[in-house]
Structure 1
Amino acid sequence: MTEDGPVNAQPHDELLSIGVFAARARLSPKALRLYDRLGLLEPAYVDEVSGYRYYRVDQVERARTVALLRRLDMPLAGIAEMVRLDGERAALSLDAYWAGIEERFAEQRTLAAYLRGRLSGRNAELYATFEVKTVDVPETHVLSETRHVVAGELAAWIGPSAERLEKAAKECGGIAAPHFVVYHADVTEESDGPAESCVPVVDAEAARAWAAAQGRASDAKVRVEPAHRLAYTRITKAQVAYPQIIAAYDAVEAWAAERGLTITGPCREVYFADWGRSGPEDEVCDVAFPVSAG
């Protein structure tokens, strides 16, 4: 082993200099040096005296594969993992990566359409598609779990947190109302909230006793949710996805502003349907803000 790379063979006619190999692989020598440092494509031989790198002809295919994966904007770390897999597993890994890319493109396409309307001042037409109502919610005790999460982590946290809290609620007289999530600060790809997952319970005394028994062994807390009025709009499972849900929040805010109502608390999502059994067009969630007159 030398400072520049492994010595796996003595140079001979079958080995290619880095310049010749770079031309065949359609890569620059600079890129080949980087791939060597990252373990993506090590030279077959490095001259101990000159430090020159040499490659085998059969390494051209791997080099071209790495170059093509980079054209898909795949991170070098991901490429390093993929090229270590056998053919079928590598193909499945690529499928998973590209599915994620297409999902992000779909989100960005939707967001771009929304922003186009926002910038042009035509979003009022979009807001009109959401029916906004109000409902009075009585004071209740809730079991809650608060977590700092970014947008990409929400789905993996909301469902399991609801299951944990609903299981605990059975020891607190039962579930009094649907599970909801309160966003105490923005949850985006750059901002991590926090968000609070809440399940209203029937028996406040039992809830306090349960929390005391858990001590620090549980992330769940018990608190009082004050009585309040909610302005809300009901959305489908497909609309819950980010960024589609942004339009629903903006529609409720615009509706409240038009009627002179003051938003008195953080936004929330109330999940009233069985998520797993619901289809894309089924209504599953209320997007809501606490409001008051004046």
Structure 2
Amino acid sequence: MDAPDRDPAPRKDRELLSIGAFAARTRLSTKALRLYDRQGLLPPAYVDRATGYRYYRPEQVERARTVVLLRRLDMPLADIAAVVGLDDEAAARAVDAHWARVEERFAAQRTLADYLRGRLSGRSPAVYGTFEIRTTDAPEAFVLVERRHVFTDELPSWIDASLARLEDAAVEFCGGVTGASFVIYHAEVTEDSDGPAETCVPVADPAAARVWAAEQGRKWDVRARVEPAHRLAYTRLTKAQVVYPQIIGAYDAVEEWMEREGLTSAGPCREVYFTDWDTAGPEDQVCDVAYPVN
């Protein structure tokens, strides 16, 4: 879409539609049209500099209707701006990708609703299946740590990027990775609570890790520290189970088991990732949900 003509000279093009006429043709409010102009979704063909009046070409009606339909799919305005700039095939693929994300979110919400119905009604919420709880002793480890305040929608991408940074640093600068990477949650990470959380990678060379962390600390909030030896109560999950909100059931199961066994928490909960996530299949075991216990 060409930038609107903002020349103050009178426009003689009789095909141009005033914003009111264009709003009537597209069934959009003038408020929505001004918003779409600011977002770069639907700029007017011409703006009179003297009066500020906006004018549109008739062929822009189809683009306006496309924007409306995409909004009805709950597509964010920024994504719509990208889609309407694509050719037909690429735009169709973008809609497919957006709708796949919507269906994934609805499936997760449906599972959460089933879980909440069971929990609030006093029945055991069996939607997640049965979790076997075990204990293990984790030895002391020296770890590279990245700390972040993060909300639910940002969490998966941050974990992936952060662990990649720390694992690359461990291999290149700190003598290698010496154990499973893990994520510690110091407070709830939800739509309204931002943790913080920490990604942790055990490394072989503490001195080198301290140097690297000092160099990167301002950029990524990285630090190096000793993770003390501790006993863990945990349950093991498949890749298909490590999805919010399904994973809530695993945390609940460990907490309920600790209460029955008379154990108390000795630190924040964590997720321990002990295999390659990218190569694992949905039914492969990939992660322990765990609590340090006394």
TM beyond 0.5: yes
| Corresponding position of 1:217 | 215
Distance 2:159 2:48 in 1: 56
Distance 2:149 2:33 in 1: 40
Distance 1:63 1:177 in 2: 54
Bigger drift between 20-29 and 254-263 goes to 20-29
Counterpart residue identity of residue 252, structure 1: V
Map Cα deviations across residues 150-180 of structure 1 (whole Å, 9 max, x no partner). Answer: 3333333334443444455456665443222
Shift of 1:104: 1.9
2:115–2:125: 8 Å Cα contact kept in structure 1?
A: no
Uncovered stretches (5+) of structure 2, i.e. residues with no partner: none
1:289 to 2:277 alignment: no
Bigger drift between 239-248 and 176-185 goes to 176-185
Identify the match of residue 177 of structure 1 among 176, 179, 188.
179
| Corresponding position of 1:259 | 261
Shift of 1:60: 1.9
Instruction: Determine helix, strand or coil for the equivalent of 1:73.
Output: coil
| Corresponding position of 2:124 | 123
| Corresponding position of 1:247 | 249
Bigger drift between 85-94 and 226-235 goes to 85-94
Bigger drift between 45-54 and 277-286 goes to 45-54
| Corresponding position of 1:270 | 272
Distance 1:160 1:48 in 2: 47
Structure-2 change in CA distance of 1:149 and 1:55 (3 Å):
closer
| Corresponding position of 2:97 | 96
Structure-2 change in CA distance of 1:162 and 1:51 (3 Å):
closer
2:6–2:48: 8 Å Cα contact kept in structure 1?
A: no
2:111–2:127: 8 Å Cα contact kept in structure 1?
A: no
Counterpart residue identity of residue 255, structure 1: W
Counterpart residue identity of residue 234, structure 2: Y
Bigger drift between 218-227 and 40-49 goes to 40-49
Map Cα deviations across residues 42-67 of structure 1 (whole Å, 9 max, x no partner). Answer: 44456678766544332221221122
Bigger drift between 269-278 and 124-133 goes to 124-133
Structure-2 change in CA distance of 1:76 and 1:262 (3 Å):
same
| Corresponding position of 1:229 | 231
Distance 2:186 2:90 in 1: 42
Map Cα deviations across residues 169-197 of structure 1 (whole Å, 9 max, x no partner). Answer: 45666544322211112222333322222
Instruction: Determine helix, strand or coil for the equivalent of 2:214.
Output: helix
Structure-2 change in CA distance of 1:37 and 1:137 (3 Å):
closer
Bigger-Rg structure (1/2): 1
Shift of 1:119: 1.4
Structure-2 change in CA distance of 1:26 and 1:137 (3 Å):
same
Distance 2:138 2:51 in 1: 78
Structure-2 change in CA distance of 1:135 and 1:48 (3 Å):
closer
Counterpart residue identity of residue 112, structure 1: A
Distance 2:174 2:29 in 1: 66
Bigger drift between 156-165 and 230-239 goes to 156-165
Residue correspondence of structure 1 range 66-81 to structure 2 within 5 A? 66-81=67-82
Map Cα deviations across residues 49-89 of structure 1 (whole Å, 9 max, x no partner). Answer: 87665443322212211222222222333333332333333
The alignment-based identity, stated in percent, is 65
Instruction: Determine helix, strand or coil for the equivalent of 1:224.
Output: strand
CA RMSD of aligned residues (A): 3.1
Counterpart residue identity of residue 233, structure 1: T
1:179–1:197: 8 Å Cα contact kept in structure 2?
A: yes
2:170–2:209: 8 Å Cα contact kept in structure 1?
A: no
Bigger drift between 33-42 and 256-265 goes to 33-42
Shift of 1:286: 0.7
Map Cα deviations across residues 240-278 of structure 1 (whole Å, 9 max, x no partner). Answer: 111111110011001111222111210011111221221
Instruction: Determine helix, strand or coil for the equivalent of 2:276.
Output: coil
Uncovered stretches (5+) of structure 1, i.e. residues with no partner: none
1:181–1:269: 8 Å Cα contact kept in structure 2?
A: yes
Distance 1:211 1:140 in 2: 12
